[in-house]
Amino acid sequence: MKIAIASGKGGTGKTTLSVNLALALSDAQLFDCDVEEPNCSLFLDCEPKLLEDVNCLVPIIDSEKCSLCGQCSEFCRYNALAALPSKVMVFPSLCHGCGGCTLICPEGAVREEPRRIGIIEKAVVSELEFYRGLLDIGEVMAPSIIKALQAHIEEGKTAIIDSPPGTACPVIATVENMDYCILVTESTPFGFHDLKLAIDVVRQMKIPFGVVINRHGLGDARVEKYCLAEGIPLLLMIPNDRRIAKLYSEGIPFVKEMPEWKERFREMFETIKNQVDQGGSA
C-alpha cells in the first residue's frame, strides 16, 4: 500500500509521522519527496548514496533547418521557447520535457538532449529502505524529481511517502496515485486553515484520507469538531509531550525510545487498511 503524509502547511509534523510510521512497520520503504529540502535522513542517522541522476529532455534548435515558423513557440504552454524574427530562443529552466516541440516542428529542426535537474539517493537503515530526491539548486521542476523517486516503489511493500508542504504542484505530484493520504495538522488557527485547503485537494483528487493531530493539547478542539462534523476519520493524536519534543530535538524517532508508540502506529496502519478495503473516507 502507498500512503502519503501531507499537510496544508509546513512544520506540522509530516516528517515526524513519516519516519516513525515507517520504522514501526516491517518490510517498508520510506520516500522523502520534499525534494527542495529533504530531512528524513536527519532522523535515520544515515548518509544516502547516489542512486541515479534525474534528467529533463530540453530542445535544441538546428538553425540551418529552422524556418522560423513559430509553431514550437505557439505550442509550448510553459513559454520555454520564444520565436524571434531571426532565431528561436530556448529557456531550459522553463522546459517540462514534454517533447511536443519536437513532434510539431514541420522541418525536423528540433532535437532533444538531457539536462540534469536533480538526483535520487538511497540508504538502508536496518530493514527500512530509504529513498530521497534532491532538486539541484536553481531548478524548479520538483514534480519530475518526485515522479522519478516514486518509480522505485516496489509492489508488495508498504511505501510511506513524506510529502512537501502546501497544496501546490509538488504536493499534487506526490499524492496522486496514492492508496491513502494522511493529513497532519495542529490545533492552531494556521494549522486548521491550511488543513481545510489540503482536504479540498485530496477530495478533488478522490484519494481516501484521514487526519492526525500532532502536538495535541497545544491549541483547542476546533480540528476534532471539524472532523466529527465532516465525517473525517481522526486516526491518531500525538500529544504535546516534552519527551517526544526532546527526542525530536536530538534527531531520535520517538518509537525507538517509547515502544508503546510503535504499537499505536501499527494500529493506525491497520485502521487505514480497513478503511481502504471498505472504500475510503469522507
How is the chain split into domains, by residue range?
Answer: 2-54+118-277, 56-116
Average of pLDDT values for 214-228?
A: 92
Q: What is the pLDDT at residue 280?
A: 57
Spatial neighbors of 250 by CB under 8 A, at least 6 apart, are: none
Least Cα distance to 9 among 164, 132, 201, 235 occurs for 164
Say which residue, 279 or 212, is predicted with more confidence: 212
N- to C-terminal Cα separation, the chain: 19
Average of pLDDT values for 250-254?
A: 96
Mean of the per-residue pLDDT values of the chain: 94
Q: What is the pLDDT at residue 126?
A: 85
> Is the predicted pLDDT of residue 238 greater than 80, yes or no?
yes
CATH number given to 56-116: 3.30.70.20
- State pLDDT tens for residues 106-143: 999 999 999 999 999 999 998 899 999 999 999 999 99
> Is the predicted pLDDT of residue 10 greater than 90, yes or no?
no
CA–CA gap between residue 167 and residue 250 (Å, rounded): 29
> Is the predicted pLDDT of residue 220 greater than 70, yes or no?
yes
CB contact at 8 A, 140 and 96: no
CA–CA gap between residue 213 and residue 277 (Å, rounded): 23
- State pLDDT tens for residues 12-59: 999 999 999 999 998 899 999 999 999 999 999 899 999 999 999 999
- 11 φ/ψ sector (left φ>0, alpha ψ -120 to 50, else beta): left
> Is the predicted pLDDT of residue 161 greater than 80, yes or no?
yes
Q: What is the pLDDT at residue 9?
A: 83
> Is the predicted pLDDT of residue 207 greater than 90, yes or no?
yes
> Is the predicted pLDDT of residue 65 greater than 70, yes or no?
yes
Q: Name the pTM for this structure.
A: 0.92
Provide the CATH topology of domain 2-54+118-277: Rossmann fold (3.40.50)
CA–CA gap between residue 32 and residue 162 (Å, rounded): 5
Q: What is the pLDDT at residue 78?
A: 93
Q: What is the pLDDT at residue 88?
A: 96
